[in-house]
Structure 1
Amino acid sequence: MGSLQGQNVVVVGGSRGVGRSIVEAALREGATVLAAARGAAALKELSWEASGVRTLAVDATQEAAPDTVFAALEPDVLVICAGAFAPSAPLQDQSWDEFSANWEMDVKASFLFCQAALRGRMKSGGRVVLISSGAAFSGGPPNSGGYSGAKRMQMVLAAHGQKEADRLGLGLRFMALAPMRIMAGTGVGQRGIEGVSTYLGISPADFLASMTDMQTPADVANAVVALAGGKLQGTAFTVSGSGLAAAA
């Protein structure tokens, strides 16, 4: 019997990359899984390849998105993995729309779903996991716009959500998980690798060769499963090639 047997897991941003790895891990652990994402085509492909997954096409930044998602499946575990591509231009060449892309997507989706959970849309014992980034600690390169600040804000949202859940006696857990290294093989990761290596004037291969202790999407998925167990204390965690750890 899997560790998530009999539980409902909703992955917002679950059609590709890290989100898809989380969906697949939750299915292996026996959960009923709903993958929500904007792209209907990617969701259709996922439903063909991941037996038993439920899918829902929805824009997670819309005010009604939490109601739509929770009506499709009431989650015991809610994972917010939806995210925009970071900019890849020097700061002085970015428009505000480019700079704020991750605030308007990553942070807004996290905000809306955390808010819905605190308003009673998740029952006691529910766990919310926001997928952040190691850029929240490093600041990221100057060509990545508001990405690092947005990923740090997800950690702040998790901390604020936990304080409110405790104050209101809701019995909910809010956590943020930061993969510490950029990941090849995912849309966001590959875009980031290309953008950073171009900015630094080196090849993507040389940039990747400079990285150590790299995690994979499967490592992130396994960390989410561990956090879903609800036994670890704290609201901020990291995952690297060395495994899952509480954030310093």
Structure 2
Amino acid sequence: MGSLQGQKVVVVGGSRGVGRSIVEAALGEGATVLAVARGTEALKELAWEASGVKTLAADATQDTAPDAVFAAMQPDVLVVCAGAFAPSASIQDQSWEDFSTNWETDVKASFLFCRAALRGLMKPGSRVVLISSGAAFSGGPPNSGGYSGAKRTQMFLAAHSQKEADRLGLGLRFMALAPMRIMTGTGVGQRGISSISAYLGISPADFLASMTDVQTPADVGRAVVALAGGKAQGTAFTVSGSGLAAAA
């Protein structure tokens, strides 16, 4: 029997990349899974290829998104993986709209769903996992705009939400998980690899060769399943090729 047998898991941003790997990992552990994303075509492809997954087309940055998602499925585990591509231009060549794109997408979606959980839309015992990034610790390259700050803020948001849940006696768990290395095989990762290597003036192959202890999207999926077990202490975690760990 899988570790999530009988559990309902919602993955916001679940149609592609890391989100899709989380969907597949949860399905493999026996969960009933709802994948939420904006793109209907990607959701159709997911539903065709991942037997049993439920899907919902919704924009996670809209104020009404949590109500729509929780009406479709009341989750035991909510994973917020929705995010935008980071900018790929030097700061002086970015507009504020460029610089703030990850605040308006990654952070806003996380905020809306954490707020909804704290307002009573998730039952006691439920777990919320926000997918952050190792850039929250490294700072990222100068051409990534507000990406690293946005991903760090997701960690703050998980910690603040946990304190508020404890104060109110809601019985909820809030956690942030940061994959520590940029990954191939995902849209965000591929774009990031191209952008960073161009900024550094090296080939993508040389940039990839410089990285060690790299996790895969499947590793992230397994880490989320482990956190969904609810036994880990703390609110911030990392996953690398070496596995899941509490953030220092």
Q: Which amino acid aligns with 1:157?
A: L
Query: 1:121 maps to what in 2?
Result: 121
Q: Work out the percentage of aligned pairs sharing the same amino acid.
A: 85
Q: Which amino acid aligns with 1:161?
A: S
Distance in 2 (CA, whole Å) between partners of 1:28 and 1:72 is: 21
Distance in 2 (CA, whole Å) between partners of 1:90 and 1:62 is: 29
> Counterparts of 1:68-79 in structure 2 under 5 Å?
68-79=68-79
Query: 2:218 maps to what in 1?
Result: 218
Pairwise CA distance, 1:240: 0.2
Pairwise CA distance, 1:38: 0.3
Query: 1:184 maps to what in 2?
Result: 184
Distance in 2 (CA, whole Å) between partners of 1:69 and 1:238 is: 27
Q: Which amino acid aligns with 1:163?
A: K
Secondary structure of the residue aligned to 2:226 is helix
Query: 2:138 maps to what in 1?
Result: 138
Distance in 1 (CA, whole Å) between partners of 2:87 and 2:121 is: 34
Query: 1:168 maps to what in 2?
Result: 168
Secondary structure of the residue aligned to 2:199 is helix
Distance in 1 (CA, whole Å) between partners of 2:75 and 2:157 is: 19
Pairwise CA distance, 1:97: 0.5
TM-score by length of 2: 1.00
TM-score by length of 1: 1.00
Q: Which amino acid aligns with 1:243?
A: G
1:193 aligns with 2:199: no
**Aligned structure 1 segments of 4 or more residues deviating by more than 4 angstroms:** none
> Counterparts of 1:39-54 in structure 2 under 5 Å?
39-54=39-54
1:156 aligns with 2:159: no
Secondary structure of the residue aligned to 2:22 is helix
C-alpha distance after superposition, 1:14-58 (max 9, x if no partner): 000000000000001000000000000000000000000000000
Query: 1:85 maps to what in 2?
Result: 85
Distance in 2 (CA, whole Å) between partners of 1:43 and 1:99 is: 28
Question: What RMSD over aligned residues (CA atoms) do the two structures have, in Å?
Answer: 0.3
Q: Which amino acid aligns with 1:139?
A: G
Distance in 2 (CA, whole Å) between partners of 1:25 and 1:237 is: 18
1:37 aligns with 2:37: yes
Aligned residues, how many?
248
Distance in 2 (CA, whole Å) between partners of 1:103 and 1:39 is: 20
Pairwise CA distance, 1:110: 0.1
Q: Which amino acid aligns with 1:129?
A: V
Distance in 1 (CA, whole Å) between partners of 2:51 and 2:202 is: 41
Secondary structure of the residue aligned to 1:56 is strand
Pairwise CA distance, 1:203: 0.4
Pairwise CA distance, 1:126: 0.2
Distance in 2 (CA, whole Å) between partners of 1:89 and 1:159 is: 31
Structure 2, gaps ≥5 residues long: none
Pairwise CA distance, 1:85: 0.1
C-alpha distance after superposition, 1:183-231 (max 9, x if no partner): 0110000000000000000000000000000000000000000000000
Q: Which amino acid aligns with 1:121?
A: L
1:12 aligns with 2:32: no
Distance in 2 (CA, whole Å) between partners of 1:228 and 1:196 is: 33
Structure 1, gaps ≥5 residues long: none
Pairwise CA distance, 1:157: 0.3
Distance in 2 (CA, whole Å) between partners of 1:21 and 1:178 is: 15
